[in-house]
Structure 1
């Protein structure tokens, strides 16, 4: 079951500059940077309970975020919903016709199980489901 809006992800061309902006200009608490090799991204989190802002940047200039930034100068990338049973949520949504970008959840930031719903299934919005590790 979906339990919360986990985070809002923003693709940024310059991670250090964006981190500085969110810390210094907006005064948000900075949780740190994490590299997610499987997604080829560097992420920076700014917790704003009960949700957070996630900055995403291509790791080594590769991956889906790099492709996104080739088309756009940055901006809102995806919304992430927290799940307490991601496998059940995927099964439920697949039965309703939702398409996913992968066959099964994978390991994401903070060791969460994650999967993305294709934007065509959600009126053009990329949606991530995330289940925190136990």
Structure 2
């Protein structure tokens, strides 16, 4: 069912201020940046070996990332697990009593289809199911 840790999402106030820590001090390779209008975030993906780091900067006060930072400060926001057949995995989770934030997969960053489990069903962790088209090289 789960085939990898795809990425760890980290909420940041500013990509411009935060990226040099990851690229200069930690010497991680910046893979790409993009805006996800539907979530009101700018994201930067960094290569961390077996998984990626996804830095998430809010684009507006309406962004869930803005609200997260206001409440908890910058830091780890979610863990994304790679899956195949995401809608089957969502149904499987629901059948097992897991509360899902997303009843159906939706478009996420990097062309992925994503769905989130409610943290109350995952012992306080926001878990993202993430299905990617491997042909896109992400």
**Is this a same-fold pair by TM over 0.5?**
yes
Aligned-partner Cα distance in 1 for 2:123–2:94: 16
* Structure 1 spans left out of the alignment, 5+ residues: none
Aligned-partner Cα distance in 2 for 1:101–1:63: 16
Q: Which residue of 1 aligns with 2:62?
A: 62
Normalising by the residue count of structure 1, what TM-score does the alignment of the two structures yield? 0.95
Count of paired positions: 134
RMSD (CA atoms): 1.1
Q: Which residue of 2 aligns with 1:77?
A: 77
Runs of 4 or more above 2 Å deviation:
none
| Per-residue CA distance 1:49-101 (angstroms, 9 max, x = gap) | 32111101112343100100111220110000000111111111100111111
Q: Which residue of 1 aligns with 2:11?
A: 11
Q: Which residue of 2 aligns with 1:127?
A: 127
Normalising by the residue count of structure 2, what TM-score does the alignment of the two structures yield? 0.92
Q: Whose RCO is larger (CA < 8 A, sep 6+)?
A: 1
Q: Which residue of 2 aligns with 1:51?
A: 51
* Structure 2 spans left out of the alignment, 5+ residues: none
Task: Kindly indicate whether the alpha-carbon contact (under 8 Å) linking 2:90 and 2:103 is maintained by their aligned counterparts in 1.
Answer: no
TM superposition shift of 1:103: 1.9
Matched, 1:25 2:30: no
